[in-house]
């Protein structure tokens, strides 16, 4: 299920109402404030160094603790620095995507989310092995924060989770969440989204403007 948390629902409702009233091609806005606020909205915890809380069961209803070991961090260092020359921003995004695939499988094999089916289905709500877009975006953000904390991301910063919607499209335009990378220098935001992919597959990393509903015309940030 794609949707908003119960907390902050009033603000979400206001934004949704404005979107409909404007009959925009689409609306794009950040999850409430800074990166950490998203975790508060869904009553979960941001990473503490190499320890994360894994969200599942749709909307972070199930939460499982996981810690990346010293051996895991050493492997992440190798994945993110395969050559002697520093990667370009585009190359770094590819490295991040491939590394996130490894992290998701490493975590999923322990907590059970490797059984996650792509997208959402009616049987997935409340199932701790399944993830909706909120779970996926939250977990990918946590993984990237671990990479950032360990100094493995050089050309980007982990940004606040982004939400995009176009309710005039019906379910096809329902609110959808994605993790975000912000490129240094250009300040271009990239959506990091693996919701439509099986767990352990490298997520897509595309410009926010081209992600999900292209060319959203209204930008709302709180």
- Walk along the chain (222 residues) and give the pLDDT tens digit of each residue: 454 443 334 334 434 444 444 344 567 666 657 899 999 999 999 999 999 999 999 999 999 999 999 999 999 999 999 888 999 999 999 999 999 999 999 999 999 999 999 988 888 899 999 999 999 999 999 999 999 999 999 999 999 999 998 877 777 778 999 999 999 999 999 999 999 999 999 999 999 999 998 865 434 333
What pLDDT is stored for residue 28 in this prediction? 67
- Phi and psi for 128 in degrees, rounded to 5? -65, -10
Angstrom CA distances, 130 to 19, 108, 115, 127, 166, stand at 30, 10, 7, 6, 25
What pLDDT is stored for residue 216 in this prediction? 53
CA distance 2 to 96: 25
What pLDDT is stored for residue 122 in this prediction? 80
CA distance 157 to 183: 7
DSSP 3-state assignment of 163? strand
Using DSSP bridges, classify how beta strands 218-220 and 27-30 pair: parallel, antiparallel or unpaired: parallel
CA distance 41 to 138: 11
């Amino acid at each position: 299920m794609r949707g908003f948390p119960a907390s902050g629902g009033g603000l979400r409702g206001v934004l949704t109402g404005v979107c409909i009233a404007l009959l925009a091609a689409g609306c794009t806005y950040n999850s409430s404030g800074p990166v950490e606020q998203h975790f508060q909205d869904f009553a979960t915890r941001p990473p503490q160094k190499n320890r994360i809380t894994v969200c599942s069961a749709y909307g972070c209803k199930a939460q499982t603790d996981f810690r990346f070991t010293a051996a895991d961090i050493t492997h992440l260092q190798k994945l993110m620095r395969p050559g002697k020359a520093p990667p370009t921003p585009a190359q770094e995004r590819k490295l991040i995507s491939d590394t996130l695939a490894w992290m998701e499988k490493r975590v999923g094999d322990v907590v059970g989310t490797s059984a996650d089916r792509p997208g959402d289905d009616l049987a997935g709500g409340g199932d701790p092995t399944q993830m909706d877009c909120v779970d996926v975006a939250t977990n990918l953000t946590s993984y990237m924060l671990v990479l950032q904390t360990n100094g493995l991301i050089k050309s980007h910063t982990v940004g606040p989770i982004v939400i995009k919607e176009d309710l005039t499209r019906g379910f096809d335009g329902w609110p959808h969440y994605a993790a975000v990378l912000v490129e240094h220098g250009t300040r271009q935001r990239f959506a990091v989204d693996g919701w439509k992919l099986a767990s352990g597959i490298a997520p897509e990393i595309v410009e926010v403007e081209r992600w999900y509903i292209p060319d959203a015309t209204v930008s709302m940030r709180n």
